[in-house]
């Protein structure tokens, strides 16, 4: 007994030392490993571990930004972003057939179609179930609280004015980027900058804590167009009705304010509804006012008149002999409807006499006419920066045949857009000065000075002639507006087909300036392929001009003036 | 003496700092939930705003105004013969 007691009382010291040092070494290994991981080895140590941790739990999410509002000049909304919710799911977590059936019912789909789609994405972590749901719809789906089904906030673009401004305002794609029209041209201005935030997620993917905002979202800026929605609507309605009446395939109309260079209305036919993306006709998305070029025809005769007046060889009262009602140029004979005999230059334009214009052109030479066209901005793009805008072409030949020199004077051999034609006429409406065009509202302080293209006297003379075109002898009596004096010029152009000019297909044009005493508004009308006998500019396009201009003048409170029955002037508050 | 105070001081400092961490993360959580509800409110208001904007422009659309004026109220555009031009008088004349 005593021997064993002795053994217990006296343990060997080396054993204690051995165990202690073993433990110490193990502890040291642990510490050194820690030091290696945390401090020494960055690539496979601390940084690697942090990355791996973050990959499993930290996520960044986009914070959607509000796209700027597009309004007309009076603040009426034309394009509005509204909050919507896109529903997405993680297909890995969506397996239960009962849940899929319930989800399909809420989404308005058949369970078979939905499970087929889920199978399609079965190896993915993300799929959209329904994009751009209204917040109420989304709530009803999210309230099912299915695993892996979540909502994501987005914005969707709505166009309250619908088809009335569809081609002008354009479209955004499903991700909110402009793809056409103003939406594309001013995308940088309108678009917001999406923000970014970082958050921690749990095993199921739900956000449990925000770490912080990396980038603040910035809302897009609002844009006020020069368009007046009231006028736009009026123009749209008149144009659509006229399209039905004339049976035309397409049409375009544009109204400008010649003093400020603002485009007040711009409409096209056919139209599309920008709020429903289901299968619209792509031809209808084109803004024909700026994208379609054609030969302007007789609407260029007033510009030839400018060349004639500037040469000093003609006044509007000079006489031109147009008998016998036809003239031979080269191998071609240009006829008038009948023999007008000896008539004034003014009457040549009023009647749109081919013979008269030919004689004037032959005397002037084509160079001076081409020079006027150039000065009026034809063949050059306008300053509006509209996507897909075309500039038309002015002929640039080495050798001019006799017929080419003459046809230039009545608007063949060059091409222009309706906007360019209207802009050329704006010179007459603004005392010979041409103000650069804009689609944006110009406040009084932002007015841009015009470029003096012709003298004010010549502009006045041309206006006088344009007014007579709507008079009792002119070709555009249907362009008259009750209570106002207007002026303008018709044009009827043969369409060009594969084998040259087509005999039975026309483009009818009218460009007008109103009111004559205080000219300001220029409207150009193009009717493509009017059917029946009334295919001419005077029959197909002039009535549209009259209806539109009536509205333009009414909306701008222009003072009616009639020679036969002057309006009564009544003072306010009695006793003038 | 000072050697004995040092660990106690450090212990207290560590405790204070630990409690401060607890407190500040509590404050952060509170502020975060506040921010969330404010953001949600902003979202809701924007939802309302754009809905009202759309409703307003639908109700006031020229198309609707014209159809109400013409069909429901039997209004017509005034003929020129019934126009009266009113000239504002200057102050001195009055």
Domain boundaries in chain B? 2-74
**Within an 8 Å CB–CB cutoff, is residue B46 touching chain A?**
yes
pLDDT for position A8: 60
Residues 6+ apart with CB under 8 A from A139: none
The count of CB pairs under 8 A between chains A and B is: 76
Q: Inspect the interface and report whether the beta carbons of B84 and A568 lie closer than 8 Å.
A: yes
**Within an 8 Å CB–CB cutoff, is residue B40 touching chain A?**
no
pTM here is 0.81
d(CA A173, CA A169): 13
State whether A186 and A311 are in the same domain: no
State whether A322 and A399 are in the same domain: yes
Tell me if the bond preceding B19 is cis, omega within 30° of 0: no
Closest-CA distance of chain A to residue B17, Å: 21
R_g of chain B computed on alpha carbons: 36
pLDDT for position A29: 95
Q: How many domains does chain A have?
A: 2
pLDDT for position A573: 40
Nearest chain B alpha carbon to A136: B47
With CA atoms as reference, report the closest residue to A492 among A229, A249, A296: A296
Instruction: Mutation target for A interface from B80, B84, B86, B93: give the one with most A CBs within 10 A.
Output: B80
pLDDT for position A575: 34
State whether A210 and A336 are in the same domain: no
Please list every residue in chain B whose beta carbon sits closer than 8 Å to the beta carbon of residue A559: 85
Centre a 10 Å sphere on the Cβ of residue A145 and count the other Cβ atoms it contains: 8
State whether A395 and A454 are in the same domain: yes
d(CA A133, CA A111): 19
pLDDT for position A267: 94
d(CA A168, CA B28): 48
Nearest chain B alpha carbon to A76: B57
The DSSP annotation for A31-98 comes to HHHHHIIIII-IIIIIHHHHHHHHHHHEEEEEE--PPPPEE-TTS-EEEEEEEEEEEEE-GGG---HH
Closest-CA distance of chain A to residue B51, Å: 7
Instruction: Please list the rounded mean pLDDT of every run of 10 residues in chain A (576 residues).
Output: 54 88 96 85 78 84 87 91 87 81 83 84 84 83 83 87 90 86 92 86 74 84 92 93 90 94 92 78 84 91 92 90 87 88 91 91 90 91 87 86 88 92 94 92 87 92 91 87 89 83 87 91 93 84 93 86 51 38
Strand partners, A199: A59, A210
CA–CA distance from A342 to each of A312, A317, B6 (Å)? 20, 11, 121
**Tokens, residue A32:** 């050194």
Q: Inspect the interface and report whether the beta carbons of B43 and A66 lie closer than 8 Å.
A: no
Q: Classify burial at A189, counting beta carbons within 10 Å of its beta carbon; exposed 0-12, middle 13-18, buried 19 or more.
A: middle
| Contacts of range A279-288, beta carbons closer than 8 Å, 24 or more positions apart | A284/A166, A284/A167, A285/A166, A285/A167, A285/A171, A285/A180, A286/A167, A286/A388, A287/A167, A287/A168, A287/A181, A287/A386, A287/A388, A288/A167, A288/A250, A288/A251, A288/A252, A288/A418, A288/A526
Whichever domain contains A482, its CATH number is 3.40.710.10
pLDDT for position A6: 52
Q: Is residue A562 part of a domain?
A: no
Nearest chain A alpha carbon to B54: A160
Centre a 10 Å sphere on the Cβ of residue A238 and count the other Cβ atoms it contains: 22
d(CA A40, CA A412): 82
Three-state DSSP class for residue A347:
helix
Q: What are phi and psi of A413, to 5 degrees?
A: 90, -5
d(CA A420, CA A524): 9
Q: Inspect the interface and report whether the beta carbons of A570 and B57 lie closer than 8 Å.
A: no
pLDDT for position B89: 66
Query: Per residue in B25-81, pLDDT tens?
Result: 999 888 888 988 998 898 889 888 888 988 888 888 888 998 999 999 999 887 777
Closest-CA distance of chain A to residue B71, Å: 16
Q: Inspect the interface and report whether the beta carbons of B94 and A77 lie closer than 8 Å.
A: no
The whole-angstrom distance between residue A474's C-alpha and the CA centroid of its chain comes to 36
pLDDT for position B10: 93
State whether A421 and A307 are in the same domain: yes
Whichever domain contains A205, its CATH number is 3.90.1310.10
Please list every residue in chain B whose beta carbon sits closer than 8 Å to the beta carbon of residue A234: 62
Q: Is residue A302 part of a domain?
A: yes
State whether A295 and A202 are in the same domain: no
State whether A412 and A335 are in the same domain: yes
Please list every residue in chain A whose beta carbon sits closer than 8 Å to the beta carbon of residue B88: 572
Q: Inspect the interface and report whether the beta carbons of A82 and B88 lie closer than 8 Å.
A: no
**Within an 8 Å CB–CB cutoff, is residue B83 touching chain A?**
yes
d(CA A467, CA A567): 21
Residues 6+ apart with CB under 8 A from A394: A370, A373, A374, A378, A379, A414
d(CA A328, CA A359): 11
* Single residue among A189, A224, A259 that ends a domain in this structure: A224
State whether A198 and A279 are in the same domain: no
Residues 6+ apart with CB under 8 A from A386: A181, A182, A185, A287, A290, A439
Nearest chain B alpha carbon to A236: B63
Q: Inspect the interface and report whether the beta carbons of B83 and A483 lie closer than 8 Å.
A: yes
pLDDT for position B92: 47
* Active site residues per annotation of A: 298
**Tokens, residue A369:** 């006419």
What is the domain range of residue A202?
61-83+155-224
Please list every residue in chain A whose beta carbon sits closer than 8 Å to the beta carbon of residue B37: none
Nearest chain A alpha carbon to B80: A483
Helices A229-246 + A542-555 axis angle, to 10? 160
Please report where in the chains the tokens 């204070």 appear, as a residue.
B16
State whether A244 and A189 are in the same domain: no
User: In which element (H, E) is residue A212 found?
Assistant: strand A207-215
**Within an 8 Å CB–CB cutoff, is residue A139 touching chain B?**
no
State whether A213 and A327 are in the same domain: no
**Nearest CB partner across the interface for A569, out of B62, B81, B87:** B87
With CA atoms as reference, report the closest residue to A318 among A303, A331, A308: A308
* Single residue among A174, A205, A224 that ends a domain in this structure: A224
**Within an 8 Å CB–CB cutoff, is residue B76 touching chain A?**
no
**Nearest CB partner across the interface for B50, out of A83, A234, A237:** A83
Please list every residue in chain A whose beta carbon sits closer than 8 Å to the beta carbon of residue B85: 559-560, 567-570
Biggest CA-to-CA distance, chain B: 112
d(CA A34, CA A44): 13
pLDDT for position A574: 36
**Tokens, residue A253:** 């109309």
State whether A284 and A168 are in the same domain: no
Q: Is residue A39 part of a domain?
A: no
State whether A235 and A213 are in the same domain: no
């Amino acid at each position: 007994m005593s021997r064993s007691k002795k053994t217990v009382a006296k343990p060997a010291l080396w054993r204690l030392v051995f165990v202690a040092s073993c433990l110490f070494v193990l502890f040291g290994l642990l510490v050194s490993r820690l030091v290696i991981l945390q401090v020494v080895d960055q690539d496979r140590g601390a940084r690697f571990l942090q990355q791996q941790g973050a990959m499993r739990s930290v996520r960044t999410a986009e914070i959607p930004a509000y796209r700027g509002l597009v309004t007309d000049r009076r603040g009426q909304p034309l394009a509005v972003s509204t909050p919507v919710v896109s529903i997405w799911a993680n297909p890995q977590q969506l397996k239960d057939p009962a849940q899929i059936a319930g989800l399909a019912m809420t989404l308005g789909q058949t369970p078979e179609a939905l499970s087929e789609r889920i199978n399609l994405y079965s190896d993915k972590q993300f799929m959209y179930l329904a994009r751009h749901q209204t917040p109420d719809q989304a709530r009803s789906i999210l309230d099912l609280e299915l695993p892996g089904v979540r909502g994501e906030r987005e914005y969707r673009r709505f166009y309250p004015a619908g088809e009335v401004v569809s081609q002008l305002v354009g479209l955004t794609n499903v991700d909110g980027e402009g793809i056409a029209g103003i939406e594309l041209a001013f995308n940088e201005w309108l678009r917001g900058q999406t923000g970014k935030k970082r958050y921690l997620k749990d095993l199921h993917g739900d956000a449990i804590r925000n770490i912080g905002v990396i980038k603040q979202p910035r809302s897009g800026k609002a844009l006020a167009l020069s368009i007046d929605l009231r006028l736009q609507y009026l123009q749209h309605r008149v144009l659509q009705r006229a399209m039905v009446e004339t049976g035309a395939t397409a049409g375009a109309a544009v109204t400008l304010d010649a003093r400020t260079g603002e485009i007040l209305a711009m409409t096209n036919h056919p139209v599309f509804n920008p709020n429903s993306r289901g299968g619209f006709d792509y031809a209808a998305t084109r803004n024909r006012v700026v994208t379609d070029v054609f030969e302007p025809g007789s609407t260029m005769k007033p510009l030839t008149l400018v060349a004639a007046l500037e040469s000093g060889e003609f006044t509007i009262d000079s006489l031109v002999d147009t008998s016998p009602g036809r003239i031979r140029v080269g191998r071609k004979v240009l006829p008038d409807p009948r023999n007008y005999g000896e008539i004034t230059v003014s009457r040549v334009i009023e009647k749109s006499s081919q013979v008269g214009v030919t004689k004037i052109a032959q005397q002037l030479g084509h160079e001076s006419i081409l020079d006027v066209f150039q000065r009026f901005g034809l063949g050059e793009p306008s300053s509006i920066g509209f996507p897909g805008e075309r500039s038309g072409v002015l002929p640039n030949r080495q050798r001019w045949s006799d017929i080419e020199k003459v046809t230039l004077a009545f608007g063949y051999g060059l091409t222009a857009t309706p906007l360019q034609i209207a802009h050329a006429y704006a010179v007459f409406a603004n005392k010979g000065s041409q103000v650069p065009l804009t689609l944006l509202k110009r406040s009084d302080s932002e007015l841009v000075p015009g470029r003096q293209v012709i003298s004010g006297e010549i502009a006045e003379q041309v206006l006088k002639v344009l007014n007579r075109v709507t008079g009792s002898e002119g070709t555009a009596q249907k362009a008259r507006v009750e209570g106002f004096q207007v002026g303008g010029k018709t044009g009827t152009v043969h369409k060009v087909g594969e084998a040259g000019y087509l005999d039975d297909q026309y483009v009818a044009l009218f460009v007008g300036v109103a009111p004559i005493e205080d000219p300001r508004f220029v409207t150009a009308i193009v009717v493509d392929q009017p059917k029946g006998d009334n295919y001419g500019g005077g029959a197909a396009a002039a009535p549209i001009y009259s209806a539109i201009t009536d509205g333009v003048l009414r909306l701008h409170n222009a003072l009616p003036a009639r020679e036969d029955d002057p309006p009564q002037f009544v003072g306010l508050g009695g006793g003038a | 003496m000072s050697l004995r105070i040092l660990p106690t001081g450090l212990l207290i400092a560590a405790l204070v700092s630990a409690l401060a961490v607890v407190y500040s993360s509590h404050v952060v959580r509170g502020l975060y939930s506040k921010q969330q509800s404010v953001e949600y409110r902003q979202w809701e208001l924007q939802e309302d705003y754009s809905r009202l904007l759309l409703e307003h422009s639908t109700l006031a659309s020229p198309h609707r105004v014209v159809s109400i004026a013409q069909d429901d109220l039997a209004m017509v555009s005034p003929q020129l013969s019934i126009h009266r031009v009113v000239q504002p008088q200057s102050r001195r004349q009055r």
